[in-house]
Structure 1
Amino acid sequence: MAPRRDASQHTYDRAGVDIDAATRAKELIKPLARATRRPGVIGDIGFFGGLFQVQGYRDPVLVSSTDSVGTKVVLANQMGRLETIGVDLVNHCVNDIAVAGADPLFFLDYIGLGKLVPEETEQIVRGVAEACKAAGCALIGGETAELPGLYRPGTFDLVGFIVGAVEKDAIIDGSGIQIGDAVLGIPSNGLHTNGYSLARRVFGTDENSGALDAFHEDLGRTLGEALLEPHRAYYPMIKPALPHVRGMAHITGGG
């Protein structure tokens, strides 16, 4: 006969998953997501699937993308500045679909972490919601997963998923590029969300987090402030010119 096990020893809490913390985090996040509501959103936040009705297009084609902030989250964590990486995440995804000429419609986020702290999760999603509002994009859902067997306490990952739309006859895919076309470049405002594993190695921030607080005259700010500069949102800049554009590239990792 198998030995009888004490069921009280086998709970989510003892396994490292705090259900109460998850509930508190959801309550903090809901008003942030609701503030991004736009025409097309159906229902309230919290349903199993986010609902969106595409409106105002003759022959719409949906354009989707997903990306993460990479190891920039390590620096944000070290500096205790979590809102900025939410902005990074949204702007990166919006830019990725903008090169096809797409308008952003809705966004979802995923936060995987070792230990859920509701207030920290709220900071991250606050940045996500702020950038969604600026882009006219609704935050209609997401997932916050406390995974103690996968992430160490104090570590997390952040991933975003975006869907936009473009008229089928207005898709920008580079096929119309011709000899003699003008090539324009828009300057970045920093590293965006790529190259941070190398940057952390070059500046030794993993071994010496104090390097992030060092002021650099040539930057006019601390190293940490420069490295955490949010990913620039190019969509508002390029939107007026989209009817005249034949091809674009969002210069990121492999871009």
Structure 2
Amino acid sequence: MVDLEKIGKFPDVPEVSEEWKNVIERIRERERVLVLGETDSGKTSFCIAVEKIKKNVATADLDPGQQRLFIPGCVSLKLKDKILKFFIGSMTPRFSEWLILIAISTFLQKLKKHKGPLIVDMPGYIKEDRAIMLLLLKINLIKPHKIIIFKSPETDKIKNLSAKFSEIIEIEPNKKTRKISPEERARIREEKIKLYFRNYKIIRIPKTKIINLSYQNENFQDFIGFFRNWLTEFIGIVMQEEQDNLLVAVPQNFRDKKWDFILKSSMKIKIEFDGQEERS
């Protein structure tokens, strides 16, 4: 099993301040907690700290661009020893809002019997009114008991609106969080995808089986999500298009099933394959 969680800038055991410890102690069993803040404020390190300190924590990673648990273009849920995935076909929440809301609804269904807390690591997409509206829709779906906000000038509007729906806890951003450049973020995304496809094979998929949300752009690449029970089991990359079929690279452990649906979408990345193709 490829451990995608190890790629990136996230520490295994982040430094936990007294402020963080006090906030984490306030999280109770079965509570749903949203963690909000700007990019590089320390949200993900805080979520890792909660996982280490509290027992039986489920973590939802709703940042499709900087996924900790899976590959970019997806959102995910870590539940016990499983990682549930949902392919949204975009590296930004912007313009893929409806798929993210479906993913959240699916994750909540899977959490019905979960007795521990749910921690939701939100993306740093918070500045536009469109982002704030998406946040309010997420709050309506998740119904969090607490919203933890890493303070910044950009979060005042969010705090005032969110306070109508949940308890707000403000904390200071982690000053030791390493800032990473857009170039490094792009490198981390590419690394994760290449590791996922480090050993791959090519399959042929009839176009009639695919829901196509792609659009033509030379800087984008077409990805495929294979869905069963409203979760994504495998991701593929379109390598070649024939008249009636697509040739798709998938991990070697891919097994064809009776998929509920197969979704194709374009993402702003170009992957040059340097893995090992399995040949039959």
TM over 0.5: no
Could you say which structure has the higher strand fraction? Answer: 2
Normalising by structure 2, what TM-score? 0.28
Greater relative CO (CA pairs within 8 A, separation 6+): 1
Could you say which structure has the higher helix fraction? Answer: 1
Normalising by structure 1, what TM-score? 0.30
